Amino acid sequence: MRARAHSALLSLIAACLFAMPSTAADQKLIDQMKIADPEAGPVQLRPKFLTDGSYDTADPSAPIHVQLPDGQQVWMIIFSGGTVIYANSLEEFLRGGAHALLDIDFLYPDGTHVTTKPYRIKAAPWDPDLAFFRSDAEPRMVGYAGMMEKCKEGVEPTRAKDNWTRNRHAFDVELWRDSVTRKVHQLWKDLGSVQGYRPCEHSEDPWLGAAHAHGYGSHYIEDSSGRPFLFFDEVTEQKLLNGAPVPYRTEILVRQLDSSRTRAVGPKRFALRVTRPDDPNRPFKAARRSIGGLLIEGPHLIDVTIDGVDYYIMFFSAGDAFTDKYGSNYAYRLKSEGLDGPFTPGVDDDGELINITSSLSERIDATWGIGRPNPFRDQQGNLWIAGHVILKQDIPDDETKSGWPPTYEQLVKRARRSLVIPLATELREGRPLVKTIEAAP
């Protein structure tokens, strides 16, 4: 009896020693996410990677459908840093598999080129978005991206020194296909700040105020009557740290645009704050940053019908982008109430923001997301998000797996994969509930 007990104890110890840790990745799931659907048969409703992590593909746009001047059609997804992937159809993206990454040309207002290297020394456009509309009976394409400004003629801004000058800019966008190589080319011409900010006119409030309010992401959308709006994140409070002003609070606002879609008009309104609606003095836990302050960012919207009720759903992320706590959250508003007002955050029973990608992130042992959700529908009406993530297994074991890398060299090595994830929605106790679909039925 004693021998059997001793043997059982040894077996238990061995099982504990060789059991996979709770944070170990589900390698089978990761492998499935890397594999594209077969070309024959329907698109499977499951998460899939679109890039392989060999180059950073952060903040993906939703798939965008464009008609080129030669009449041909193309689909694309654009990333921060000025890169893009193309496809001949939406289905190509939804089948998954790695896509070739290409550069976009960005020009400053003076006509000089922007360096398109995210998180490196030079400037880069962040979180690109596009608007399509007709102006004077002609089709027009306007882009939006977070841009740093040149405060000295001929000197390109740098992220470390000039990041405070960044806000949402409008761009004239041109796309065409080379008649010889058949490659698609894309050129964005900077038209200046949508908000009319003048950040180079440095004030005592470098992160906000009349001259400037620092911002990162935005989303263009029209209401049911065709009025254009821009949702954007912006620094709404700064504090002194060691005698220097720093951004402390970043929240999501909305503002109507003029008929050109390149300038904002009318008042700013809060779409979502970093504090709970039932207690303005109580910030959401997910919005807290490890370096201090509160942040929600990257608004992207879509209209949905859930059990016969029409809503606007706004997706966003919160907190530290460089951690495994960074996720995908949402808020909602009745479509009948219009766009220019506060959204109701999707929260759990404790009143905290729901991270719809937390389960999938844990299963694949991810960091830097799964975040920056950007919603879209497939041709069957299914709801998806595009987002980004880093697999911890791709980070060397002697480097920081979650959190701010201790050195700049480690920071710029990080390469986020882009991915697409199908969603399901329902009404629960009269409130929209959004969930990810993690495996094909």
Q: Is 190 domain-assigned?
A: yes
Q: Is 3 domain-assigned?
A: no
- The reported pLDDT for the residue numbered 117 is 65
Q: What single-letter amino acid sits at 69?
A: P
Low-confidence ranges of the chain (pLDDT < 70): 1-23, 116-122, 133-137, 441
Say if residue 329 is exposed, middle or buried (CB neighbours under 10 Å; 0-12, 13-18, 19+).
Answer: buried
The CB-based long-range contact list for 62-69 (8 Å cut-off, 24+ gap) reads: 62/300, 62/374, 62/375, 62/376, 62/386, 63/87, 63/90, 63/93, 63/376, 63/386, 64/130, 65/90, 66/141, 66/175, 68/175, 68/176, 68/177, 68/184, 69/175, 69/176, 69/177
- The reported pLDDT for the residue numbered 441 is 65
Q: Is 6 domain-assigned?
A: no
Q: Is 390 domain-assigned?
A: yes
Residue keyed to tokens 């740093």? 148
Q: Is 275 domain-assigned?
A: yes
- The reported pLDDT for the residue numbered 213 is 85
- The reported pLDDT for the residue numbered 7 is 43
Query: Hey, what are 398's tokens?
Result: 């002697």
Range of the domain at 59: 24-436
Q: What's the start-to-end Cα distance of the chain, in Å? A: 48
Query: Distance between CA atoms of 133 and 369, rounded to whole angstroms?
Result: 32
Query: Hey, what are 69's tokens?
Result: 């001047």
Chain CA centroid to CA 193, Å: 20
Contacts of 429 (CB under 8 A, 6+ apart): none
- The reported pLDDT for the residue numbered 430 is 93
- The reported pLDDT for the residue numbered 353 is 98
Q: What CATH number is associated with residue 112?
A: 2.115.10.20
Q: Is 18 domain-assigned?
A: no
Q: Is 9 domain-assigned?
A: no
Q: Is 97 domain-assigned?
A: yes
Contact predicate 88/131, CB 8 Å: no
DSSP 405: -
How many domains are contained in the chain?
1
- The reported pLDDT for the residue numbered 115 is 81
Query: Distance between CA atoms of 386 and 133, rounded to whole angstroms?
Result: 23
